[in-house]
Amino acid sequence: MIPQAPGGRIRDLGCGRIAARTLIGGEKDGHSVISERQLDTVSPELGTLAEFERSLIVERTKTGMDAARRRGRHVVRPPSLTTEQVSYARTAINGGESIAGMASVLGVYRNTLKRTLGRDCGYG
């Protein structure tokens, strides 16, 4: 959600105040205590709000990953290269193509290709 300034213009966030909902601590009847406040966007309070938002994102991400693991899902980043691309790269490199050139062709970084090919092949 993009925060809106009182006038509704995002450019107004750099000056003046914005209305914000912040956690002020603890729980009441099982619910987080939230307060409506005015924040000065040029003060350290904005940094505190940003840290709070970041911690919420991290918490939600971890909760989602834990839920996926409980459902038996494998939670990792998908591979950058398919097995066909790795095989093609290995063949081309063994045929004299440079690692940097092959990485450029495949659209990945050189280090990604070297890591994928593996240290046991002498490319890492």
Encode pLDDT of 45-84 as tens digits.
777 888 899 999 999 999 999 999 999 987 888 888 999 9
Instruction: Indicate the domain borders of the chain.
Output: 10-70, 83-121
Burial of 3 (0-12, 13-18, 19+ CB in 10 A): middle
pLDDT of amino acid 46: 74
pLDDT for position 76: 83
Q: Are 5 and 12 in contact (CB under 8 A)?
A: yes
Average pLDDT of span 23-32? 56
Nearest one of 20, 18, 23 to 55, comparing CA atoms: 23
